[in-house]
A and B are shown apart, each in its own frame.
Chain A
Amino acid sequence: EAGVAQSPRYKIIEKRQSVAFWCNPISGHATLYWYQQILGQGPKLLIQFQNNGVVDDSQLPKDRFSAERLKGVDSTLKIQPAKLEDSAVYLCASSLNGGGETQYFGPGTRLLVL
């Protein structure tokens, strides 16, 4: 089966600019996650969707980050305006139904904010 797809793979922007990332989960997976992985650290959950509803966004900096999954399939994560500390790899993952099931990660988008 096809894995989790993400685009773009790399993005370089200047601070205060905006950027958007796209994720297409594994077909049939109801749960979609966005993680931020700063160099040298483990992934940190930003937001979790169950179908098109938000399950957890407690660690999403809502003043600058937003995410949507309008039709319960693919998702976009946006940062506006970006800060230097947003430089990281943004990983999308999906699982069949959440609740302790295996999360499959996409290749990630590496963001550099100058």
Chain B
Amino acid sequence: GENVEQHPSTLSVQEGDSAVIKCTYSDSASNYFPWYKQELGKRPQLIIDIRSNVGEKKDQRIAVTLNKTAKHFSLHITETQPEDSAVYFCAAGTGANSKLTFGKGITLSVRP
């Protein structure tokens, strides 16, 4: 089955700096790649997603890039703010039903 890995496991940045979180996946048939943000004790919430026919997608301060050849995708957050501090999960969707396999998550800390 699909295997999704996230690197690094923790990331600390200064407010205003950029943060980049990388994920790799194993199944070349995966076609849907969402990113979820989970604050402590709360539900995961979708922040951005990308499909396999697109290389990059941007939404205000957040962007995602996909390299299908290398089987990795990355989340880019610019001008980070303290409220960006959370756990970020990447996932890969496989098959007609886009069954999601999640990574273990990365804890992002934005220092004021």
A contact residues vs B (CB 8 Å cutoff): 31, 40-45, 48, 50, 55-56, 58, 91, 98-108
Q: How far is the CA of A50 from the CA of B46 in the complex (A)?
A: 21
Q: How far is the CA of A27 from the CA of B105 in the complex (A)?
A: 29
Q: Is the CB of A91 within 8 A of B43?
A: yes
Q: How far is the CA of A53 from the CA of B103 in the complex (A)?
A: 27
Most buried by B among A43, A100, A101, A107: A100
Q: Is the CB of B102 within 8 A of A103?
A: no
Most buried by A among B34, B43, B46: B43
Task: Please give, as numbers and ranges, the residues of chain A lying within 8 Å of B105 by CB-CB distance.
Answer: 40-42
Contact with A along B1-15 (1 / 0, CB 8 A): 100100000000000
